Protein backbone atom coordinates (compact mmCIF):
# COMPACT_ATOMS: atom_id res chain seq x y z
CA UNK A 1 0.00 0.00 0.00
CA UNK A 2 2.87 2.34 0.76
CA UNK A 3 4.02 2.79 -2.90
CA UNK A 4 0.40 3.45 -3.80
CA UNK A 5 0.13 6.16 -1.14
CA UNK A 6 3.33 7.79 -2.41
CA UNK A 7 1.88 7.73 -5.91
CA UNK A 8 -1.35 9.34 -4.73
CA UNK A 9 0.46 12.02 -2.72
CA UNK A 10 2.86 12.69 -5.57
CA UNK A 11 -0.02 13.06 -7.97
CA UNK A 12 -1.74 15.48 -5.62
CA UNK A 13 1.41 17.62 -5.29
CA UNK A 14 1.90 17.61 -9.06
CA UNK A 15 -1.76 18.47 -9.61
CA UNK A 16 -1.57 21.36 -7.14
CA UNK A 17 1.56 22.70 -8.87
CA UNK A 18 -0.10 22.57 -12.27
CA UNK A 19 -3.22 24.13 -10.79
CA UNK A 20 -1.22 27.13 -9.65
CA UNK A 21 0.24 27.62 -13.10
CA UNK A 22 -3.03 27.05 -14.98
CA UNK A 23 -4.81 29.66 -12.86
CA UNK A 24 -2.08 32.29 -13.04
CA UNK A 25 -3.39 35.46 -11.46
CA UNK A 26 -4.31 38.38 -13.74
CA UNK A 27 -2.53 41.71 -13.11
CA UNK A 28 -3.42 42.99 -9.68
CA UNK A 29 -5.53 46.14 -9.85
CA UNK A 30 -6.49 48.66 -7.24
CA UNK A 31 -9.11 51.32 -7.95
CA UNK A 32 -9.92 54.51 -6.05
CA UNK A 33 -12.64 57.07 -6.73
CA UNK A 34 -12.89 60.55 -5.22
CA UNK A 35 -15.85 62.93 -5.52
CA UNK A 36 -14.94 65.23 -2.61
CA UNK A 37 -18.50 65.30 -1.29
CA UNK A 38 -17.49 64.93 2.37
CA UNK A 39 -13.98 66.36 2.41
CA UNK A 40 -10.65 66.40 0.63
CA UNK A 41 -10.39 62.65 1.19
CA UNK A 42 -6.72 62.85 2.24
CA UNK A 43 -5.65 64.88 -0.79
CA UNK A 44 -3.23 67.61 0.30
CA UNK A 45 -2.88 70.98 -1.43
CA UNK A 46 0.66 72.00 -2.40
CA UNK A 47 2.32 74.80 -4.35
CA UNK A 48 5.75 75.75 -5.65
CA UNK A 49 7.33 78.66 -7.54
CA UNK A 50 4.94 81.04 -5.81
CA UNK A 51 7.39 83.82 -4.94
CA UNK A 52 6.84 87.34 -6.29
CA UNK A 53 9.44 89.75 -4.95
CA UNK A 54 9.15 89.64 -1.19
CA UNK A 55 5.61 88.24 -1.27
CA UNK A 56 3.83 85.09 -2.34
CA UNK A 57 1.19 84.69 -5.01
CA UNK A 58 -2.38 84.36 -3.82
CA UNK A 59 -3.63 80.85 -4.43
CA UNK A 60 -5.98 78.26 -2.99
CA UNK A 61 -7.20 74.74 -3.54
CA UNK A 62 -10.40 73.99 -1.67
CA UNK A 63 -13.75 72.30 -2.00
CA UNK A 64 -16.57 74.28 -3.54
CA UNK A 65 -20.20 73.93 -4.49
CA UNK A 66 -19.97 76.58 -7.21
CA UNK A 67 -20.08 73.75 -9.73
CA UNK A 68 -19.63 69.98 -9.71
CA UNK A 69 -19.56 67.10 -12.15
CA UNK A 70 -20.77 64.47 -9.67
CA UNK A 71 -22.77 65.19 -6.57
CA UNK A 72 -22.70 68.79 -5.38
CA UNK A 73 -19.03 69.39 -4.59
CA UNK A 74 -15.83 69.72 -6.60
CA UNK A 75 -12.31 70.99 -5.92
CA UNK A 76 -11.55 74.55 -6.98
CA UNK A 77 -8.05 75.59 -8.05
CA UNK A 78 -7.35 79.33 -7.90
CA UNK A 79 -4.01 80.92 -8.74
CA UNK A 80 -3.05 84.56 -9.31
CA UNK A 81 -0.11 83.76 -11.53
CA UNK A 82 1.60 87.15 -11.59
CA UNK A 83 5.09 85.63 -11.68
CA UNK A 84 4.29 83.47 -14.73
CA UNK A 85 5.62 80.38 -12.95
CA UNK A 86 3.21 79.24 -10.23
CA UNK A 87 2.37 75.58 -9.85
CA UNK A 88 -0.34 74.25 -7.54
CA UNK A 89 -1.57 70.71 -7.15
CA UNK A 90 -3.15 68.15 -4.88
CA UNK A 91 -1.31 65.00 -3.94
CA UNK A 92 -2.21 61.70 -2.31
CA UNK A 93 0.05 58.85 -1.23
CA UNK A 94 -1.03 55.33 -2.17
CA UNK A 95 0.33 52.11 -0.72
CA UNK A 96 2.10 49.88 -3.23
CA UNK A 97 4.54 46.99 -3.19
CA UNK A 98 8.25 47.70 -3.23
CA UNK A 99 10.33 46.65 -6.24
CA UNK A 100 7.32 46.59 -8.56
CA UNK A 101 6.21 48.40 -11.68
CA UNK A 102 2.71 49.82 -12.01
CA UNK A 103 0.64 51.35 -14.77
CA UNK A 104 -1.48 54.04 -13.16
CA UNK A 105 -4.49 55.53 -14.93
CA UNK A 106 -5.56 58.90 -13.60
CA UNK A 107 -8.94 60.10 -14.91
CA UNK A 108 -11.05 63.06 -13.88
CA UNK A 109 -13.51 65.73 -14.86
CA UNK A 110 -11.80 69.07 -15.35
CA UNK A 111 -13.69 72.32 -15.87
CA UNK A 112 -11.90 75.09 -17.74
CA UNK A 113 -12.99 78.41 -19.21
CA UNK A 114 -9.82 78.71 -21.29
CA UNK A 115 -10.67 78.95 -24.97
CA UNK A 116 -8.69 79.23 -28.18
CA UNK A 117 -5.05 78.19 -28.35
CA UNK A 118 -3.25 81.25 -26.98
CA UNK A 119 -2.08 81.76 -23.42
CA UNK A 120 -3.32 78.45 -22.11
CA UNK A 121 -2.01 76.95 -18.91
CA UNK A 122 -0.53 73.48 -18.49
CA UNK A 123 -1.98 70.51 -16.66
CA UNK A 124 0.02 68.69 -14.01
CA UNK A 125 -0.90 65.02 -13.62
CA UNK A 126 1.19 61.99 -12.82
CA UNK A 127 2.48 59.49 -10.33
CA UNK A 128 5.88 59.85 -8.70
CA UNK A 129 7.85 57.56 -6.39
CA UNK A 130 8.50 60.24 -3.77
CA UNK A 131 6.69 63.32 -2.51
CA UNK A 132 7.45 66.14 -4.98
CA UNK A 133 9.91 68.73 -3.67
CA UNK A 134 10.96 70.66 -6.79
CA UNK A 135 9.40 71.67 -10.11
CA UNK A 136 11.38 68.88 -11.77
CA UNK A 137 9.57 66.30 -9.63
CA UNK A 138 6.21 67.27 -11.16
CA UNK A 139 4.68 65.67 -14.27
CA UNK A 140 3.40 68.03 -16.98
CA UNK A 141 0.75 67.10 -19.51
CA UNK A 142 -1.31 68.94 -22.12
CA UNK A 143 -2.88 72.41 -22.02
CA UNK A 144 -5.97 73.63 -20.20
CA UNK A 145 -7.98 74.66 -23.26
CA UNK A 146 -11.65 73.63 -23.25
CA UNK A 147 -11.83 73.06 -27.00
CA UNK A 148 -13.89 76.11 -27.84
CA UNK A 149 -12.64 78.85 -30.14
CA UNK A 150 -14.85 81.42 -28.39
CA UNK A 151 -15.61 82.38 -24.80
CA UNK A 152 -18.36 79.95 -23.79
CA UNK A 153 -17.52 79.90 -20.09
CA UNK A 154 -16.67 76.74 -18.21
CA UNK A 155 -16.82 73.36 -19.91
CA UNK A 156 -16.33 70.01 -18.16
CA UNK A 157 -13.64 68.00 -19.93
CA UNK A 158 -12.79 64.33 -19.50
CA UNK A 159 -9.10 63.94 -18.78
CA UNK A 160 -7.32 60.58 -18.71
CA UNK A 161 -3.60 59.88 -18.40
CA UNK A 162 -1.76 56.60 -17.94
CA UNK A 163 1.63 56.78 -16.28
CA UNK A 164 4.15 54.20 -15.17
CA UNK A 165 5.98 54.12 -11.91
CA UNK A 166 8.58 51.68 -10.64
CA UNK A 167 9.14 51.35 -6.95
CA UNK A 168 12.42 50.50 -5.28
CA UNK A 169 12.49 50.13 -1.51
CA UNK A 170 9.59 52.51 -0.98
CA UNK A 171 6.10 51.13 -0.40
CA UNK A 172 4.10 54.16 -1.43
CA UNK A 173 3.83 56.48 -4.42
CA UNK A 174 2.25 59.90 -4.85
CA UNK A 175 -0.42 60.80 -7.38
CA UNK A 176 -0.45 64.50 -8.27
CA UNK A 177 -3.10 66.56 -10.09
CA UNK A 178 -2.89 70.30 -10.65
CA UNK A 179 -2.00 73.20 -12.88
CA UNK A 180 1.06 75.15 -13.98
CA UNK A 181 0.48 78.83 -14.64
CA UNK A 182 2.01 79.45 -18.05
CA UNK A 183 0.50 82.88 -18.59
CA UNK A 184 0.43 85.88 -16.25
CA UNK A 185 -3.17 86.15 -15.09
CA UNK A 186 -5.49 84.87 -12.34
CA UNK A 187 -7.37 81.69 -13.27
CA UNK A 188 -9.80 79.23 -11.75
CA UNK A 189 -10.36 75.57 -12.61
CA UNK A 190 -12.52 72.81 -11.14
CA UNK A 191 -11.83 69.11 -10.59
CA UNK A 192 -14.26 66.30 -9.79
CA UNK A 193 -14.83 62.54 -10.24
CA UNK A 194 -11.16 61.68 -9.81
CA UNK A 195 -10.42 58.03 -10.49
CA UNK A 196 -7.09 56.27 -9.87
CA UNK A 197 -6.49 52.74 -11.17
CA UNK A 198 -3.31 50.89 -10.31
CA UNK A 199 -2.36 47.84 -12.39
CA UNK A 200 0.67 45.91 -11.24
CA UNK A 201 2.80 44.75 -14.15
CA UNK A 202 4.01 41.16 -14.05
* Interacting residues with Ca ion (CB under 5 A): 35, 68, 70-71, 73, 192
Count of alpha carbons within 13 angstroms of residue 153, beta-carbon side: 1
Nearer to Ca ion, 71 or 116 (CB): 71
For 6-41, give the secondary structure using H, E and C.
Answer: HHHHHHHHHHHHHHHHHCCCCCCEEEEEECCCCCCC
SS3 state at 5:
helix
Do the Cβ atoms of 142 and 125 come closer than 8 Å? Answer: no
Q: How far is the CB of 65 from Ca ion (least distance, A)?
A: 9
Nearer to Ca ion, 145 or 178 (CB): 178
Q: How far is the CB of 136 from Ca ion (least distance, A)?
A: 32
Triad 51, 53, 56: Cα angle to 5°:
35
Do the Cβ atoms of 190 and 99 come closer than 8 Å? Answer: no
Nearer to Ca ion, 69 or 87 (CB): 69
Nearer to Ca ion, 114 or 192 (CB): 192
Question: Closest-CB residue for Ca ion?
Answer: 35
Q: How far is the CB of 194 from Ca ion (least distance, A)?
A: 9
Q: How far is the CB of 63 from Ca ion (least distance, A)?
A: 9
Amino acid sequence: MRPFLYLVLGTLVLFCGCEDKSTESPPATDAHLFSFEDGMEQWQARGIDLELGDTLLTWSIRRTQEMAKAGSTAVKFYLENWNDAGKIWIEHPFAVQSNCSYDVNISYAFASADFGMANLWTIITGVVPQRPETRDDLVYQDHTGNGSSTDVGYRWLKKSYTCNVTTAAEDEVYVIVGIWGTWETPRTYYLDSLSILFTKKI
